Structure 1
Amino acid sequence: MALAWQYPLFCLLLVLLLLYPTSAQISRNISLGSFLTSENTDSYWASPSGEFAFGFQQIGKGGYLLAIWFDKIQEKTIVWSANGNNMVPGGSKVELTKDGHFVLSDPVGKEIWKAELFGSRVAYAAMLDTGNFVLATEDSRHSWETFDHPTDTILPTMTMSRPQQTCCSLL
């Protein structure tokens, strides 16, 4: 008879544990219409653990890189940058537009770089604890991610794919 009340209690405990979010699933979503400017380098989008940050890094006096860096170490080491490592001037802006585009523009609003999106509409962005910055759909699928556009650093959870051959066979 003692088991009669323990089984429902165990099932309830199991359901509650399944509903409890784990730290690996947590991300801070960046909503449509959000933006960062290069002149405010104290403003960036951090991963939930704070290990990585996405925003502008000033490089000497020459300009700014839109980048991802290790944020918990003294030397803010860059692991990814947009726009082919080309610096942008002060006053530049990166925005996740209301219609789901991710655009880097100069101080007068001229587009410098954008994430090439294919497929579903972007609903939000997120800086993940893996060091991957993603643009995601309503159902959390990644429409675009920095891991698909590596620069000169490979992070532990990155996978490298072989470029597809698009050429024809020899005659």
Structure 2
Amino acid sequence: MEFLRILVFIAFVLARSEAQQRQSNISLGSSLTPDENSTWLSNSGLYAFGFYKEGNGFSVGIFLAGIREKTVVWTANRDSPPVTSNATLVFTSEGSLVLQSREGNKYIGDSALSSSSASMMDSGNFVLYNSNGRIIWQSFDHPTDTLLPTQRLLAEKQLISSASESDHASGIFMLAMQSDGNLVQYPVKSTPLTSSNAYYASDTYGNGGNVSLVFDSDAHLYLMNSSGVNIRNITNKGYYRKDTIFLMRIDWDGLFRLYSFSLNVNTNWTAEWASSNDRCDPQGLCGLNGFCTLIDQEADCKCLPGFDFVDKGNWTAGCERNFIADSCGNNNKSLRYTMEELPNTSWEEDTYSVLEILDKESCIQACLDDCNCEAAFY
């Protein structure tokens, strides 16, 4: 009988714990607008689901509302343009989340879901439940560019960087948990997704199809196989500290980093760990006809001589000619080209032709003699 009482007590505690997690239930028929009642908060008030300012309009997502530096960790329909202030987010009587705006209606999650309630959890996870209290959709299963503690990046899932620090639309870099067990970073537009196009890899290929990237509750990042075995530490340790929150994000510059934020100190986010110490590693950071240099360990993109940035505020847009190039095959003997050397540059590994040339002067002359050559790497 005593054993039965213990079991009943444990069951009661678990049920109470779950009720506390879901105390801030969102019921059918609830709605949000950008101007009034704009978010649904978690119990602690740390996380919020709802509207946040994006450019000249508003987007819907999850962000840290309980700190000075509001930080977006998940974005719904991230490649749709921001909506105006007259938009409404409705948790319909049919159990769907619908963003209603002048541009039309957009579902958040699956339009076929028939939810009975929803919760913004203190973990940062937004959850939809059916009538039996079972989770039928959660934001943790559909990450954008960020992982939070207790969240996993499952096999065949990706994180895609944001376009910039202020624009949460999809950017140009990917962190992919591949079906071969390898965690790899690629430029989004690289085809095919092979090792030659990767700029980071965990070298864990061949470990099966159900390897996942785990962000543990103590802020430890590691790879776990289907048997629950840690097969590779991404970070060498956990970083847990009292009154500190953590997130892992693939940043707009292509590196993925582990960040901490102290709730007791009026500071900014601190990078505890990064996938590389070389900020020029991500392929495509400087775009077409651009190259990367390091200045005080910060990446700085420059254009090739004769080229200017397409968009000075967006390195990834690359560079375009600032003059009209005459053909070297037009027999104009007064037309002369020269080559300018660019020291200390980081250039992406796209080799189109390899010549057996012994010295730099011969390399220069070979390019000048070839009408199809515009640049050479010696």
Residues 1:129 and 2:122 are matched in the alignment: yes
Taking a change above 3 Å as real, the CA distance of residues 17 and 135 of structure 1, as seen in their structure-2 partners, is closer
Residue type matched to 1:132 in 2? Answer: N
| Map 1:33-112 → 2, pairs under 5 A | 33-40=29-36, 43-60=38-55, 62-85=56-79, 86-106=81-101, 108=102, 110-112=104-106
Cα pair distance change 1:59/1:22, threshold 3 Å: same
Identity %: 38
User: What stretches of structure 1 of length at least 5 have no aligned partner?
Assistant: 1-6, 166-171
Q: Is the 8 A contact 1:134 1:145 kept in 2?
A: yes
Query: 2:71 and 2:20 mapped to 1: Cα distance?
Result: 25
- Could you say which structure has the larger radius of gyration? 2
Q: CA deviation at 1:77?
A: 0.6
How far does the alpha carbon of each residue in 1:26-60 deviate from its partner, in whole angstroms, 9 at most, with x for none?
211100010101222x5311111222111111134
Letter in 2 for 1:101: S
Distance apart, 1:123 and its partner CA = 0.5
Root-mean-square deviation (CA), in Å?
2.7
Aligned residue in 2 for 1:158? 151
In 1: Cα distance, 2:140 partner to 2:66 partner: 20
Quote the residue 1:29 is aligned against. Answer: 25
Question: Between Structure 1 and Structure 2, how many residues are aligned?
Answer: 154
Offset of residue 112 of structure 1: 3.1
The residue that corresponds to 1:3 in the other structure is none
The SS at the match of 1:49 is coil
Q: Which whole-Å CA distance do the structure 1 matches of 2:143 and 2:32 have between them? A: 22
- Contact 1:122/1:137, CA 8 A, preserved across alignment: yes
Could you tell me which residue of structure 2 aligns to residue 4 of structure 1? Answer: none
Deviations 1:113-151 (Å, cap 9, x if unpaired)? 4321556x3101110111111111012222221112211
Distance change (3 Å), C-alpha of 1:13 and 1:115:
closer
Quote the Cα distance in structure 1 between the aligned partners of 2:108 and 2:5.
Answer: 48
Letter in 2 for 1:155: L
The 1:24/1:73 distance shift into structure 2, 3 A limit, reads farther
Q: Structure 2-normalised TM-score?
A: 0.37
SS at the partner of 1:84?
coil
Report if the CA contact (8 A) 1:33-1:98 is conserved: yes
